């Protein structure tokens, strides 16, 4: 008789065994699929590689694969997959290491080849112009090879990049020192590299008095983003603006000095400033302070976005700051100069004109000039009536007569005294008005008259109710707060709002202002960071 209970039990056990076998088969299939499609494509190239760099990694990966197979054979697929994870990680690290080594070797070859092309001197270190640069470059390459051997390819590649920038700099230096004009692309490429701009500045600084105009012009054009730069010889400065020939040398280092001064200024004020587009420089005669070049003057033209410099020759003569005749009342400690060493006229006016280009871009004084901290300027344009009315009110005289006198009108009869006004007092007021009017014309440089600017009009001075009015240019009349002269650097600073800004900017750039000066605290330190900061 059949043993039905036993049969049922055996059937159940067989069913369980089938399920268990199916599960194991499925797990093994998952393992095998992952091993063959995900792991081996990455591990096999490492295991089979003949690269010495991968010998250890290939052996270790092979061992881990064997261990994974062993665990899979024991149906411990959790351990098997963990081992496959390790194989994958090792394989990816090894592949990355190989790529880093390949990239390094390729880059090393390019850099070494480039250095080899720099000179025909043997040894290369004996090259009279760039021998030292080549030695430094090769030292960086040697350091890179040491780091690659560790292996630390990140450091090695960084050192190679430094070496290649040095190589590029040396190539530019060799050309420029040999008065071969580099291409604009070569200079742009160098400047785009880490530290490249500083290297170009160092190259220019070392060119010396035999550097040709064309070399310096291109360096300035690229370094400061100029559209054009022109040099006019002293012989032509008063006649036609004929450029000096490209091969003329910078014998007095004027261009070199202008370049140096512009490097003091932040790039956002030069290279990144569309108002800083052109430079025209008139060369001065040596030792001649009244040369044709000086007669051309220094100025900025907003319409042309051009700085014009007739600053003579570098170091030729001083520029006086805080002349007691112009600014007799600068007594506050923070407003006094940082030292007693006078800046050179060349240095001051070059930065001064650069400041005008900055003001043109930013509209700095247009936005701020009317504020009390910025001089309290009012631009009256061609209108003389504000000045005439202020004088008339202070002197009790006729404003129309004063206005016509300021405008030099031919027909300007003297008005009779109003009823009740003594004729003698009336005439005295007229004379004071005329004296004041004559003194504030631009031809008289009223901004330089320190004592008069501090004295009230009723006492023969120029100040009226705390303001000084004068003619700044042919068609421009201005006024400002007289008390701000106590914070001034030059009388010329008070000619017009733009000059107020430019003179402060130049004095600050030449490190003649103290950190506590109101203008430094208010805007200069933020606008124009100096390194190191002024004390």
Q: pLDDT tens digit string along 471-487?
A: 999 999 999 999 999 99
> In what helix (H) or strand (E) does residue 142 lie, and over which residues does it extend?
helix 131-149
DSSP annotation of 341 reads P
**pLDDT at res. 288:** 62
Q: Where are the alpha helices (DSSP H) in 241-327?
A: 254-263, 292-296
The three-state secondary structure class of 179 is coil
Residue 275 makes CB contacts below 8 A (sequence gap 6+) with: 302, 305, 357, 358, 360, 361
- Judged on CB neighbours under 10 Å (0-12, 13-18, 19+), 352 is buried
Residue 10: pLDDT band with limits 50, 70, 90:
low
pLDDT band at 114 (very low <50, low <70, confident <90, very high): very high
Q: Which residues contact 248 (CB under 8 A, 6 or more apart)?
A: 212, 213, 231, 233
Q: Is 486 in contact with 450 (CB distance < 8 Å)?
A: no
pLDDT at 405 over 90: yes
Residue 417: the pLDDT is 94
Band of pLDDT at residue 241, cut at 50, 70 and 90: confident
- Mean model confidence pLDDT for the chain: 91
3-state class (DSSP) for residue 65 = helix
Point out which residues pair with 41 in neighbouring strands. Answer: none
Order of strands, edge to edge, in the sheet holding 476-481? 378-381, 476-481, 467-473, 463-464
CA count, 13 A, side-chain hemisphere, 148? 23
DSSP 459: G
Look up residue 214 and give its two tokens: 């064309």
Query: Do residues 270 and 224 lie in contact, with contact meaning Cβ atoms separated by under 8 Å?
Result: yes
What is the number of residues in the chain? 535
Q: For strand 306-309 and strand 278-282, is the pairing parallel, antiparallel, or unpaired?
A: parallel
The whole-number average pLDDT for the span 158-179 is: 96
421-465: per-residue pLDDT in tens? 999 999 999 999 999 999 999 999 999 999 999 999 999 999 999
What percentage of residues in the chain have a pLDDT greater than 90? 76
Alpha carbon dihedral 289, 292, 297, 300, in 10-degree steps, equals: -140
Task: Dump strand ranges (E) for 34-100.
Answer: none
Rounded to whole angstroms, how far apart are CA atoms 334 and 518? 8
What residues form DSSP beta bridges with 230?
280
Show the tokens assigned to 388.
């005439």
Q: pLDDT at residue 132 above 70?
A: yes
**CA 81: distance to chain centroid?**
57
What does residue 469 show for φ and ψ, rounded to 5 degrees?
-105, 140
Q: Are 479 and 473 in contact (CB under 8 A)?
A: no
Q: What is the pLDDT of residues 54-105, one digit of tens each?
A: 899 889 998 998 998 898 888 888 898 899 899 899 989 989 988 999 999 9
Give the per-residue pLDDT at 8: 62
Q: What share of the chain is helix, strand, coil (3-state, %, to 5)?
A: 60, 10, 35
Alpha-carbon separation of residue 48 from 52, 164, 198 (angstroms): 11, 35, 48
Rounded CA-CA distance 164/114 in Å is 8
Overall pTM > 0.95:
no
In the three-class reduction of DSSP (H, G, I as helix; E, B as strand; rest coil), residue 318 is classed as: strand
Position with higher pLDDT, 7 vs 162: 162
């Amino acid at each position: 008789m059949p043993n039905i209970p036993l049969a049922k039990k055996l059937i159940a056990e067989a069913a369980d065994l089938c399920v268990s076998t199916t599960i194991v088969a499925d797990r093994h299939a998952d393992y095998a699929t992952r091993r063959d499609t995900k792991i081996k494509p990455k591990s096999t190239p490492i295991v089979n590689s003949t690269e010495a760099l991968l010998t250890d990694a290939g052996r270790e990966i092979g061992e881990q694969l064997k261990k994974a197979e062993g665990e899979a054979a024991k149906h411990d697929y959790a351990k098997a997959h963990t081992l496959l994870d390790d194989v994958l990680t090792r394989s990816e690290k090894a592949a990355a290491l190989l790529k880093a080594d390949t990239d390094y070797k390729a880059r090393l070859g390019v850099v070494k080849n480039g250095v080899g092309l720099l000179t025909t001197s043997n040894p290369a270190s004996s090259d009279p112009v760039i021998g030292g640069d080549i030695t430094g470059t090769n030292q960086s390459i040697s350091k890179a090879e040491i780091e690659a051997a560790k292996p630390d390819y990140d450091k090695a590649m960084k050192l190679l990049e430094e070496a290649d920038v040095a190589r590029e700099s040396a190539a530019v230096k060799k050309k420029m020192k040999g008065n071969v004009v580099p291409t604009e692309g070569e200079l742009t490429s160098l400047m785009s590299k880490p530290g490249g701009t500083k290297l170009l500045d160092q190259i220019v600084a070392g060119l010396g008095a035999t550097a040709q105009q064309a070399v310096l012009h291109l360096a300035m054009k690229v370094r400061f983003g100029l559209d054009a730069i022109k040099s006019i010889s002293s012989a032509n400065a008063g006649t036609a603006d004929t450029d000096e020939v490209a091969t003329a040398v910078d014998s007095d280092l004027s261009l070199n000095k202008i370049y140096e001064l512009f490097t003091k200024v932040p790039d956002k004020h030069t290279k990144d400033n569309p108002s800083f587009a052109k430079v025209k420089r008139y060369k001065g005669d040596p030792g001649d302070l009244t040369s044709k070049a000086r007669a051309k003057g220094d100025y900025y033209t907003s319409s042309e976005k051009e700085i014009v410099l007739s600053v003579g020759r570098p170091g030729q003569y001083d520029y006086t700051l805080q002349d007691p005749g112009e600014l007799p009342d600068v007594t506050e400690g923070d407003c006094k100069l940082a030292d007693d060493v006078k800046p050179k006229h060349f240095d001051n006016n070059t930065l001064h004109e650069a400041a005008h280009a900055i003001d043109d871009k930013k509209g700095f004084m247009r936005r701020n000039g009317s504020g009390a901290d910025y001089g309290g300027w009012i631009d009256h344009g061609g209108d003389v009536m504000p000045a005439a009315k202020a004088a008339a009110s202070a002197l009790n005289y006729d404003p129309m007569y004063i206005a016509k006198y300021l405008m030099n009108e031919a027909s300007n009869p003297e008005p009779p005294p109003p009823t009740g006004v003594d004729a003698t007092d009336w005439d005295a007021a007229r004379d004071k008005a005329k004296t004041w009017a004559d003194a504030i014309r631009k031809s008289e440089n009223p901004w330089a008259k320190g004592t008069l600017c501090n004295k009230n009009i009723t006492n023969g001075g120029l100040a009226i109710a705390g303001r000084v009015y004068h003619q700044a240019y042919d068609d421009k009349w201005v006024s400002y707060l007289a008390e701000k002269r106590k914070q001034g650097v030059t009388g010329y600073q008070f000619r017009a709002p733009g000059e107020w800004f430019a003179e402060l900017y130049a004095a600050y750039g030449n490190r003649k202002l103290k950190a506590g000066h109101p203008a430094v605290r208010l805007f200069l330190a933020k606008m124009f960071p100096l390194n190191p900061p002024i004390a």
